[in-house]
Each structure stands twice: as structure tokens, then as C-alpha cells.
Amino acid sequence: MSEHQGVLKTGTSTIGITFKGGVVVGADHRATMGHFIANKSVQKLFKIGNNLALTTAGLVGHAQSLSRTLTAEVALFELRRQQSMTVKGAATLTANILSGRPHWVQLLIVGVDADGGHVYSIDSAGGSIPDVYCATGSGSPYMYGVLEDGFKDNMTQAEALKLAARALHASGQRDAASGNGMDLAVITPSSGYVQLSQDEIANLLK
């Protein structure tokens, strides 16, 4: 991603992992301007529906605008159809928004529907790619090292949470543009979107 002098950017580490019965999603807190740490508590993980989440890497303004748009569109869909939007539907909606007006962002759409848990990576031009796990942002090389070593099919929720926390912690240790803690959430059909407390995250890292 090209450098925008003086513009608040999130160098960023975000992650989505499927497990048996749902998905885990998370992001770090740090925002940078070049080599300067501009903010240590930026939100990069957004609930956009009871079964859907968005993570953002890129320009903060574009990310916040997209989160508001997607939350409104998902709510409108559910009001009209009286059913939850599928994860693929949310990913397609997001991709269509980006293809119409490109943003300086890299996104994950993560959620659950009748077909299980899903993770979609969406680039700034609207390309959409599904996977069982995905990491984005400048910290992604460090996270993929942890993910490729630790991921397995049909993981439990506890295993997926520990793996996500370990991957985000690794990126925060090695990537200068990532860190200052993390947000983590679990999405399941029975409980919907549930965000972990900072104490719960600290226990995962012990």
C-alpha cells in the first residue's frame, strides 16, 4: 500500500480462523503515521451483524466509513428479508462497494451462517477470496508462521482462540506497525457475536 504522508494508517494485524461450530476474529490496536505510533487504541474489529464481523487494515477514515455502511446495509437486509445475511452475501456486498469506489483498505469479512463458519479476504479493488483462515496487514507474515504451524481442521473454540491470540501476539512482537494489545471475538450460531474482555485475552496469552 502506498504511503500517504501525515495520514493516520493502521499498519495492522488482523486475523480470522474457522473452527468446528464457528469463527474467531481479531485485530491489534496500533495506528501509525509513517514510523510514528499515532494511536495505541484504534478499533479495527467491527461487529456488522449478529453473525458477521469486519476487520480493517489501511486508512482509518476509509475503514470507519465502510464499517458504518456495511452495518447499515446488513441491518436493512435483515429488516427486509427477516433473515440473517450469509457470510458470502456480506463478502459480495463489501466487494461490490470497493469495486465501485476503491478504498485504501484490506478487509476480512468473518462470520457464521447455515453452512458453518467462513472467512473472506477482500482487497482494495473488490477481490474476494474465501479460506479456512486468513491474516491481513503488515503483521501477516508473522501470523501466517503461527497459523500454518498450529491450524488444524475441526479445531475447538478454545484451540482457535488460543491460536488467534498467539498469532496476534507474535505480530505485535515483530512488526513495528502492529501491537498495543488486541481485540478478539467469537461468532457461533447459538451465541452470535461475543467479544472477549481484556482479562479473558490476557488469560489466553498466559
Catalytic option among 10, 12, 14, 136: 12
Pairing of strands 52-59, 9-10: antiparallel
Residue 194 CA to residue 42 CA, distance in Å, equals 19
Residues forming beta bridges with residue 192, ordered by sequence position: 188
DSSP 76-137: HHHHHHSSPPPHHHHHHHHHHHHHHS--SEEEEEEEEETTEEEEEEE-TT--EEEESEEEES
Relative orientation angle of helices 87-100 and 60-81, to the nearest 10 degrees = 130
Q: Which residues pair with 31 in a beta bridge?
A: 39
- Is 10 one of the catalytic residues? no
Catalytic residues: 12
